[in-house]
Amino acid sequence: MSKVFKIDDLFKKNLSKKFDKVFCELKVSSYTSISPDFLMTKNYDVEYLDSIENNGTLIHMEGIFRHRSNIYLYLSKENTMEASYQLKIYYEVDKLDEVNFLVKNLIKLG
């Protein structure tokens, strides 16, 4: 059985080491149709991408994307049949207002 957010613990640990600070975590429970493909077209930097090939098509199961202000979006889904992704956002405490704005925009887009 597969699970979502497979590298969550490793990612948080590495993020804290990289910036020498603890990042906040926000799990977005609102429905959004944001996908890895969408974020790649919006010039988010790809930090991690876990994909499978199915009949000549790449299906992204998980992806971590960095916003230009070092806000990280982690998209994950459990199986290929799921249409939408679960979303977690990692950010520095002083960027809470920016994260609130980002979440509102992501929900509008989805």
pLDDT tens-digit series, residues 14-62: 998 999 988 999 999 877 789 999 999 988 999 999 999 988 999 999 9
Residue 77 Cα distances to 2, 4, 18, 98, 103, angstroms: 9, 6, 26, 25, 19
- pLDDT average, residue stretch 10-17: 92
Number of domains in the chain: 1
Q: Is residue 2 part of a domain?
A: no
Residue 29: what pLDDT?
A: 86
Q: Is residue 63 part of a domain?
A: yes
Is it the case that residue 110 has pLDDT exceeding 80? no
Q: Is residue 61 part of a domain?
A: yes
- pLDDT average, residue stretch 96-102: 93
Q: Is residue 3 part of a domain?
A: no
